Amino acid sequence: MKSAGTNYKRVIRHPFLFLWQVISRFRENQGLLLSGAIAYYTLLSIIPLITLILLVLSQFVDQAVLLETLRQQVELLIPAQSQVLVEQIDLLLSQRDLVGWLMVGVLLFFSSMAFTVLENAMSLIFFHRVAVRCRHFLISAILPYLYILALGIGFLIMTLISGMFAAVEEREVLLFGVSWSFGGASGSLLYLLGFVGQILMLTSFYFVMPVGKLSLRHALVGGVTAAVLWEIMRHFLVWYFSTLSFVGVVYGSLATAIIVLISLEVAGMILLFGAQVIAEYERFGDLDRDG
């Protein structure tokens, strides 16, 4: 494999060739099909995952505060449908007395499915790594649950920060004889923290999911790029579903599920395309031998 500096110079000299190679490999790896699989399993996993996390955290934090933080964060992932998802989670939490150890096990199993599918998709994209080195099956088995634990910790931190901002927002600070209020600032700060959280999560996917050791710099560039692309697409989807889309007319009561599925597939496509960019950057030094 060529050095990073050599590959960087080749990309600068042949940007369109590099882009064409990324798109070609993405099509060869059935990127659209893989993103559809990720969207489907994420749709199956997202409610059990969130329910499981909130069941645990509600033992320590007020449920209403958790649900408000959830609404703010889900809005970043599934535009225009956060309220529906939060209401469903609230309904499940209200029936927590019916949740036994068997139900917890079922929730845990379905919560891990999306991470497993994502790891398999990454293996197809980074096939040049898998051909050299395979990951131990125990690591693959444990990895989804480590991500669930990390998401739970991250959600708890976001909830605590949200509570701190809410408390500060109600106060006024007297500075140089002028009264300063933080009213309205908490929403912007929470949005910024949520965006940074997206970058960190995406970066961790690119850094951990592929087999072998990936450069942290490459993973961070991929994470930032994917987060920015998703933020653009998120606003586009909100506009599209609210103005041009006929999903509600065509699918009726199924419209919410369809909208969520489309949003997740677009997110999966962006995630996998970013991975394909990183994979082809690693292999771009081989283009002379391939062509």
pLDDT of the chain, 291 residues: tens digit per residue: 445 556 667 777 877 888 888 899 999 988 899 999 999 998 888 888 888 888 888 888 888 888 888 887 777 777 666 777 788 788 877 777 666 666 777 778 888 888 889 988 988 888 877 766 777 778 888 888 888 888 888 888 888 877 776 665 555 555 445 555 555 556 677 778 878 888 988 999 999 888 877 788 888 888 888 999 998 998 888 888 878 677 777 787 777 888 888 888 999 999 999 899 888 887 765 544 444
CA distance 136 to 151: 23
Residues 263/18, Cβ–Cβ less than 8 Å: no
Residues 54/66, Cβ–Cβ less than 8 Å: yes
pLDDT attached to residue 98:
65
The pair of structure tokens assigned to 252 is 């009726």
- List all residues 6 or more positions away from 275 whose beta carbon is below 8 Å from its beta carbon: 122, 125, 126, 205, 206, 209, 210, 222
The pair of structure tokens assigned to 70 is 């959830």
Residues 110/45, Cβ–Cβ less than 8 Å: yes
Supply the pTM of this predicted model: 0.80
Cα dihedral sign for 256, 260, 262, 263? Answer: positive
CA distance 191 to 187: 6
